[in-house]
Amino acid sequence: MIGLEHFLIFSGTLFCIGLFGALAKRNVIAILMGLEIMLNSVNINLVAFSRYVTTGDLTGHVFAIFVVAVAAAEVAVGLALIVSIYRSRMSVNAEDFDWLKW
């Protein structure tokens, strides 16, 4: 029988894969994709708790919808930043973005 634990372990593993993508990749778009996977796995957690722990109360679903809205805003601004940086540096390599380092 599939229960709450299965969904929690699944979403935790998905989160860690996203974290690995965000930390280990060189291309900034790949980092952005890792962030999206992480936000998605958090949503699975919220919905799983809403289904198994507070059954009948859908606050978790509403919260997940807000997370989706924030993720959409984040990816729009993130890609605009990447395009803008690319124009001045001609690079999408995260290791080249070192203005704040000396």
Residues 19 to 78: which contact another protein by CB under 8 A? 19-21, 23-27, 29-30, 32-34, 36-37, 40-41, 43-44, 47-48, 50-56, 58-59, 61-62, 64-66, 68-77
Provide the token pair at 86.
């690319």
Min dist CB 20 to another protein, Å, is: 4
Min dist CB 101 to another protein, Å, is: 14
* Residue 4 binds another protein (CB under 8 A): yes
Work out the number of other CB atoms within 10 angstroms of the CB of residue 64. Answer: 19
CA proximity to 9, closest of 39, 45, 40, 35: 45
Please give the biggest Cα pair distance in the chain. Answer: 56
